[in-house]
Amino acid sequence: MTEAGLISKTGEISGKVSLPENYFSAKANPKFMNEALKAYLAKSFTLSVKTKSEVRGGGKKPFRQKGTGNARAGSNRSPIWRGGGVIFGPSPRTVSNYLTRKKKKLALVQALSFLASQNKIFAAEEVSFEKTKQAAEWVGKNFKRGQKILIVLDKAEKGKILPFRNLPGVEIVSADALNIRLLLYRDAVIFMGKSLEKFS
């Protein structure tokens, strides 16, 4: 049975809580997790330059073919001319590694199981703070300043997010938006309140 530390409202670890087996006890496959992470990190490239055919001008032959002593030239927008087009320059494109719904869930399960095996999963009682200082003291009871901590909420409510928003290394996400990109490379993942019930 996989267990996680239970963090009380005062910030102390007051006991243990059992984690759902179907989400926190799977065997992690590093190769698959790497593939899934790459899919989430895929991005669009917007940088663009003009080729010879796209550069404005160059319709007229710069000089006659023979008799000038110069090399033959048909356009002053050739890549070898100043102001000409660019050879093999970047163009807008999207790099995508599509993941099916089944693979997304499997990646999430493996990431949660991997973190649970390293004792990086915690459950916390529902807390509410008015100031960032109070939230910092609560987090600081068990974790060092600057550690990468992910707090998972049942719902992304403004009143719960604001006290943690300016803490260095702390990120907040709703349980529905959780994925392998957000989970990996965290020092701790804290499931707040009823957010853990969504993984039962």
Average pLDDT score over residue span 137-145: 88
Does one domain contain both 28 and 55? no
With cut-offs at 50, 70 and 90, classify the pLDDT of residue 105.
very high
Domains of the chain: total: 2
Statement to judge: residues 102 and 155 lie in one domain? yes
What's the pLDDT at 32?
Answer: 93
Q: Return d(Cα 134, Cα 126) in angstroms, integer.
A: 14
Percent share of the chain, pLDDT over 70: 100
The pLDDT > 90 percentage for the chain reads: 44
Do strands 93-94 and 44-45 pair parallel, antiparallel, or not at all (unpaired)?
antiparallel
* The predicted structure's pLDDT at residue 72: 92
pLDDT at position 96:
72
- pLDDT at residue 106 above 90? yes
- In sequence order, the 6+-apart residues with CB closer than 8 A to the CB of 105 are none
Residue 120 is predicted with a pLDDT of: 93
Give the model confidence (pLDDT) of 26-52 as tens digits: 898 999 999 999 888 887 788 999 998
Whether residue 103 sits in one domain with residue 7: yes
Same domain, 141 and 187: yes
Judgement on whether residues 178 and 192 belong to the same structural domain of the protein = yes
Backbone angles phi, psi at 93, to 5 degrees: -160, 160
The pLDDT value recorded for residue 67 is: 93
Range of the domain at 75: 44-94
How does pLDDT run across 47-95, given as a tens digit for each residue?
999 998 899 888 889 999 999 999 999 998 999 999 899 999 988 887 7
How far apart are the C-alpha atoms of 200 and 190, rounded to whole Å?
16
Q: What is the pLDDT of residue 85?
A: 92
Domain shared by 123 and 174, yes or no: yes
Q: What is the pLDDT of residue 93?
A: 81
Q: Pick the closest to residue 9 from 193, 195, 197 (CA basis).
A: 193
Rounded to an integer, the average pLDDT of 133-139 is 90
> Mean pLDDT across the stretch 149-173?
86
Residue closest to 169 by CA, chosen among 138, 134, 139, 129: 139
